C-alpha cells in the first residue's frame, strides 16, 4: 500500500452529463432526483457557514448559488 500515490483525475461534469444523457432512461432518472439535489444543496448551504468552511470553499471555486444550475445543465 505504501507504493500507491494519489493522482487526481480531472472530471468535466458538463461533458459527463452530455454523454450520459444519450443513454436511454438517464434523463428521466436524473430529473427524478431533482428534489433530492435541491434538498442536499440547501443543507450544504446551511452547513458551510456553520462549520466555518465558507472562505475555504470559495477559494476552491465553490459557489453554492450555482449548485442547482450544475444539476440542470444539459437538457
Tens of pLDDT, residue by residue over 21-69, are 999 999 999 889 888 888 888 888 887 776 766 666 666 666 666 655 5
Gyration radius of the chain over CA positions? 16
The model's pTM is: 0.42
Please tell me the total count of domains within the chain.
1
Q: Is residue 53 part of a domain?
A: yes
Q: Is residue 15 part of a domain?
A: no
- Residue 22 is placed in which grid cell? 444519450
Range of the domain at 48: 33-75
Chain position carrying cell 493522482: 7
Q: What is the pLDDT of residue 24?
A: 94
Q: Is residue 62 part of a domain?
A: yes
Q: Is residue 54 part of a domain?
A: yes
Distance CA 29, CA 37 (A): 12
Q: Is residue 73 part of a domain?
A: yes
Distance CA 10, CA 67 (A): 19
Amino acid at each position: 500500500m505504501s507504493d500507491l500515490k494519489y493522482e487526481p483525475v480531472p472530471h468535466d461534469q458538463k461533458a459527463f452529463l452530455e454523454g450520459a444523457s444519450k443513454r436511454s432512461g438517464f434523463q428521466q432518472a436524473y430529473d427524478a432526483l431533482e428534489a433530492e439535489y435541491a434538498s442536499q444543496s440547501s443543507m450544504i448551504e446551511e452547513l458551510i457557514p456553520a462549520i466555518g468552511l465558507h472562505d475555504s470553499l470559495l477559494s476552491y471555486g465553490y459557489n453554492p448559488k450555482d449548485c442547482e444550475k450544475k444539476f440542470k445543465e444539459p437538457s
